[in-house]
Amino acid sequence: MRLYVHDSEGKRLVEADEDATLIEAIGVHGDSHVWAEDADEPLAADAKVGMLAGSEVAAVHVGKGQITVTVTYNGQTESKSFGPGTKIDKVLDWTLSSQGFNIPVGDRDDLVLRLSGSTEPLEPDAHIGTLVSKADTLVLDLVPGERFAG
């Protein structure tokens, strides 16, 4: 089974036997855990690769704990904790929702997330645990997507 494995270094593909434990298949060491993509809690230490067979995408994150994401929009900030395997797309959904900045529906699709102070795009399938290295906080800006003119 093809597994997308994300960690603080980036992402890689691993071919794994469904009967193997995720920890064995990925080679997890130390106090890191395996998190399913977009999950708030880590998987059990004996979780098997095959349990991801029904997932839309068999993607996991190797990381230690939850990450607190703080987002700034129009001078206001909102914070929430997510598992390190949470995709940028899911964080964006939260910022736009009534639990975040409650952006009117007609304005939502023009907004994007960027690392604070950066103009570099963030890939929607990037895991937030990949963006923070060894820290447990991530600071983002919610801004309109760039318009190209001239």
Partner 1 sequence: MEPDERALVEDLASVRFLSGVAHKYWRVVDRVGSIATFEITAPTGRQVGVRMDFAGYPGAAPTGQLWSIVDRTPLPVDVWPTGGRASQVFNPDWSQQFGGAFYFPFDRRALDGHPAWANDHTGHVWGVDKTVVDVLHLLREVLRTATGPSMKSTEDEAAS
For partner 1, the binding residues (CB under 8 A) are 4, 11-13, 56-59, 89, 109-110, 112, 114, 118-121, 123-125, 145-150
Comparing CB distances to partner 1, the nearer of 59 and 69 is: 59
Nearer to partner 1, 47 or 112 (CB): 112
What minimum distance in Å lies between the beta carbon of 124 and partner 1?
7
* Closest CB 133 distance from partner 1, rounded Å: 19
Residue length of the chain: 150
Amino acid, single-letter form, for residue 132: V
Which of these, 137, 131, 145, lies nearest to 8 by C-alpha position?
A: 131
Distance separating alpha carbons of residues 88 and 77, to the nearest angstrom: 17
Structure tokens at 26: 């990925």
Toward partner 1, which CB reaches closer, 12 or 45?
12
Cβ contact 62:37 at 8 Å:
no
Min CB(28)–partner 1 separation in Å: 19
Contact 66/84 with Cβ under 8 angstroms?
yes
Quote the least distance from Cβ 94 to partner 1, whole Å. 14
Measured between alpha carbons, how far is residue 31 from residues 34, 63, 65 in Å?
Answer: 10, 8, 10
Residue nearer to partner 1 on the CB measure, 68 or 143: 143
